[in-house]
Amino acid sequence: MYDLITIGSALIDIFIRSKQFILRPTSKGTLICQLYGEKIDVDSFLIATGGGGSNAAVGFARAGFNVATVTETGKDTLADLLLSEFHKECVATNYVAQERREETGGSVIMLGEDGGRTVMVHRGASSLLDPHDIPMRAVKKADWIHLSSIAGRLPALRAIAAGLKEGSASCSWNPGQAELDLINAGELTAQSLPCQILVMNAEEWKKMRLKQQAFRAIIPEIVVTEGGKGGKLYLKGERRPQSFESSGIKSVDVTGAGDSFAVGYITARVKGKQPMVAVEWGKRNAASVIQYLGAKKGLLTLAELSKP
């Protein structure tokens, strides 16, 4: 059996950067613009693997865990790229569901000169996990399950929850927008999905403001990251969160920052480190990743994470 199993998306990311991208500030945020129908020169073009489940799996494998991943792909060239990297990074692919009639998902990421981005996502097969795709025996026997977004597939989420309740695995969770919608609708609660560590960004945390107190009352550790502002750590039983500063590292690309932070934090906690030490491990991993294009190149080993 495996020390750790990740469950989530596995995608192909295409990164495009151009000095000709126009960044236009507005009252609702910054727009990245181009004249419709225009052909522009691209300064860099990179194809890499991504997706929350995939990023976390590689991150935990580099940190020394015996890792398997649960995800869904098509049977196509993009799936071959994902599987090849999993094998290279020593991530077991026993539980990768490949469907001939589905397309492997992917995204196109337009990068601004300031390290910001606009992402266009086709989730494809990774958004189609069903209960029969969840390896229940493995979930029950694993030491740890890390769950990222599975596009709000409620039957699959219920199957995962059942496996966690019947087994002995601990769980960490990094939900996406579809899962937040389920939480706000009352279809997914802190009680229904056993979870020891919840990791999300400040915007996601704000979206579930009506449910925050209920989750804080049940989940032992909630980490809310705020990019360059640092973040907050909510510990069960403590009235006020502990704040932490950002690493202060200038980003080349913020893709994968949240996944890498989660990997560093969870690795430290599994290794018995205190929560604020785990925050430092998370920051260290994220600071390394955002110095490169793509979500995985900068992921650190256990020795690098645990440097004094």
The model's pLDDT over 58-114, given as tens digits with 9 standing for 90+, comes to 999 999 999 999 999 999 999 999 999 999 999 999 999 999 999 999 999 988 776
Furthest C-alpha separation in the chain = 57
Q: Which two tokens stand for residue 175?
A: 């939900």
The whole model's pTM is what?
0.93
**Which carries the bigger pLDDT value, residue 127 or residue 35?**
127
Alpha helices (H) in the chain, listed in sequence order: 52-62, 77-88, 136-141, 154-166, 177-184, 202-207, 212-218, 257-270, 275-289, 302-305
* Mean predicted confidence (pLDDT) in 157-178: 96
* Alpha-carbon gap, residue 298 to 290, rounded angstroms: 7
Q: Of the candidates 163, 162, 166, 184, which has an alpha carbon nearest to the alpha carbon of residue 175? A: 184
Three-point CA angle 99, 56, 14, nearest 5°:
65
The model's pLDDT over 218-257, given as tens digits with 9 standing for 90+, comes to 999 999 999 889 999 999 999 999 999 999 888 888 889 9
User: Are the beta carbons of 13 and 106 closer than 8 angstroms?
Assistant: yes
What is the fold of 4-23+43-299? Answer: UDP-N-acetylmuramoyl-L-alanine:D-glutamate ligase (3.40.1190)
Q: What is the DSSP letter of 255?
A: T
pLDDT of residue 63: 98
* Mean predicted confidence (pLDDT) in 192-212: 96
* Alpha-carbon gap, residue 308 to 294, rounded angstroms: 27
How many residues are listed for the chain in this entry?
308
User: Are the beta carbons of 253 and 293 closer than 8 angstroms?
Assistant: yes
The model's pLDDT over 122-132, given as tens digits with 9 standing for 90+, comes to 999 999 999 99
> Using 50, 70 and 90 to split pLDDT, how confident is the model at 115?
low
Inform me whether the pLDDT recorded for 298 exceeds 70. Answer: yes
* Alpha-carbon gap, residue 241 to 235, rounded angstroms: 7
Angstrom CA distances, 141 to 85, 136, 164, 265, stand at 25, 9, 9, 22
Helices (H) and strands (E) in the chain — how many of each?
A: 10, 16
Q: List phi, psi (to 5°) of 130.
A: -115, 165
pLDDT of residue 230: 95
pLDDT of residue 220: 98
Q: Which two tokens stand for residue 296?
A: 């995985």
Which positions ≥6 away from 290 have C-beta within 8 Å? Answer: 115, 249, 251, 252, 253, 254, 256, 257, 298
* Alpha-carbon gap, residue 87 to 300, rounded angstroms: 18
* Alpha-carbon gap, residue 257 to 249, rounded angstroms: 12
Inform me whether the pLDDT recorded for 116 exceeds 80. Answer: no
Q: Which two tokens stand for residue 292?
A: 């490169």
User: Are the beta carbons of 215 and 184 closer than 8 angstroms?
Assistant: no
